[in-house]
Amino acid sequence: MDFTLSDEQQAIQDMARSFARDKLAPNAAAWDEDEVFPVDVLREAAALGLAGIYVRDDVGGSNLGRLEAALVFEELSAGCVSTAAFLSIHNMVSWMIDRFGSSDVRERFLPALTSMESIASYCLTEPGSGSDAAALKTRAEKVGNSHYVLNGGKAFISGGGESDVYAVMCRTGDHGSHGISCILVEKDTPGLGFGKKERKLGWNSQPTTMVTFEDCKVPAENLVGNEGEGFKIAMRGLDGGRINIAACSLGGARTALEASLGYVKERKQFGKPIADFQATQFRLADMATELDAARLMVHRAAASLDAKKPIATQHAAMAKRFATDIGYRVVDEALQLHGGYGYLKDFPIERLLRDLRVHRILEGTNEIMRVIIARSLLAD
């Protein structure tokens, strides 16, 4: 097993690292403080091919793999976790359209999405169906062969009110997972509405709102895949989304570890740098070891998904569970090493702590990851 990156992968990693250093890191604190959605910077990332990382190149995608995506999202999140995470969501929607959409749907939507002329949001969660996604109630009634009429609502939607395209998982059939379809709803469609901007602990560089549908009339040709395939599309998308959000945890935690290494060498107590204390050294050693173990799991999951292995869903769930828990733990340890200074907004640690906390909830809670893993282990 070769853990060495290819020359192309190294170049992609270096490009993402440079972009994060130059465009994301210097602005992350201000975006968080002022709740700025940096659309112009996202479009600069798109110009580098980062808005359609694993979308085919005939519609402007980069046609790369999941491992390359994991490398990109770790580097971007080292600069700004929140902005990198939103870009991951946009990529997930673009991939769903590329993988399951008709030729017409691909050609109509993807060129603008891969350039981020249009921005995409993913609409699965509802107020009454979070972990139990198959219980969603937003309904789309088909009227003749021309259009669907949507009614219902979605909760916690990143990009709500700002995005141009909403990939909506809605019920076109009976109860259960086989009655769900995926329909693209474009901004300014009559009947599409948005709730107030949510006040969040973290992820403040991206807006989050309710998305509502009230007799929302959508062309039938905006269906992605066939009727009844929506749950399959959603779950397939989440395998990659879980790897990406795990990679985002790696990047944020790595930044916290690097900040801690610098801080403990400078901070003195009892007449010497706290880096000289064995308690500090052991803590740093554990942080680095656990972070490296999480990275290996993320890369294995990405490689499994690229290879279309049957075990890829289990690997993605394992990587997401482990990396997001470890990422948060590493940042918490970094805050402890910084002492009272880690609690101040003058230092990046408290923002990283806030931004990484939600990773243990979204793309399927870590409790649901354990359910997925256990089901795979116990399957006949």
Q: Which tokens go with 74?
A: 């770790």
Which residue among the candidates 68, 350, 363, 367 is catalytic per the annotation?
Answer: 363
291: left (phi over 0), alpha (psi -120 to 50) or beta: alpha
Query: Using CA atoms, how far apart are residues 20 and 105, in angstroms rounded to an integer?
Result: 32
Contact 62, 53 (CB under 8 A): yes
Q: Sort 145 into a burial class: Cβ within 10 Å, 0-12 / 13-18 / 19+.
A: exposed
Contact 167, 93 (CB under 8 A): yes
**What SS3 class is residue 11?**
helix
Contact 336, 274 (CB under 8 A): no
Which residues does residue 273 pair with via DSSP β-bridges, in sequence order?
268
Is position 363 annotated as part of the catalytic site? yes
Token pair 């009892």: residue? 270
**What SS3 class is residue 218?**
strand
Contact 348, 29 (CB under 8 A): yes
CB atoms within 10 A of CB 241: 24
Closest C-alpha to 32, from 353, 351, 357, 358: 351
Which element (helix H / strand E) includes 139?
A: strand 139-143
Contact 182, 96 (CB under 8 A): yes
What are the catalytic residues? 363
